[in-house]
Amino acid sequence: MNVVVIGANGQIGRHLVNQLQANEQHEVTAMVRKEEQQKELEANGVNAVLADLEGSISDLEDALKGADAVVFTAGSGGHTGPDKTLLIDLDGAVKSIAAAKNAKVNRFVMVSAFQAHNRDSWADSPIKPYMVAKHFADEALIHSGLDYTIVRPGGLQNESGTGKVQASENLERGSIPREDVAAVIVEALAAENTYQKGFDLIAGEDAVSDAVRKI
């Protein structure tokens, strides 16, 4: 697969680009919004395209042309307010879904948030605007007609990945290294049993390939 990673300069995105670059079954294109990011990636041998999630759908569509799959792992970040959450995590995701459809890219993997599908779990959350954005971005993908997979990781850690995870539609809260989230995405890309499904993801006892196979 030729995979476009939206949010390639993010913390999960960087792991994902590196893992896809090293994977003989896939080719990767990193989508970033700054020229210096593009130049840095290209200097490291990574194909990169410029596009802005606050730009037009047609600009995003141009960035996705020729791709077989899209992974949306962009986010406004914890240092921004609800306005950027609305523009990036919700509208940026929805525009990316529309762009994928227009570009006839049928495979779409969304990096969401733990239990984003379960309103009761974040009714009193201090990051409720973020959870709302993720919830409705996921809903847009579910109803898009694309071959989607929604990955809902728990608390994200910067520790090295262990290659051991737990994945299921509903899990008790836990944490997971970002490197392992990326590994699950790589494994899930071509795993048709993950199509039209969403799942929570935390550290566990299953090898990544086994966890994905059980979805």
User: What is the set of active-site residues?
Assistant: 130
Contacts of 40 (CB under 8 A, 6+ apart): none
Cα–Cα dist 111/127, whole Å: 17
- Sheet containing 107-111, strands listed edge to edge, beginning at the edge strand earlier in sequence: 47-50, 27-32, 2-6, 69-72, 107-111, 147-153, 197-203, 164-168, 206-207
Structure tokens at 142: 């579910």
**CA–CA distances in Å: residue 63 to residues 4, 6, 87, 139, 200:** 8, 10, 19, 23, 29
Paired strand residues for 202 = 166
Cα–Cα dist 55/209, whole Å: 36
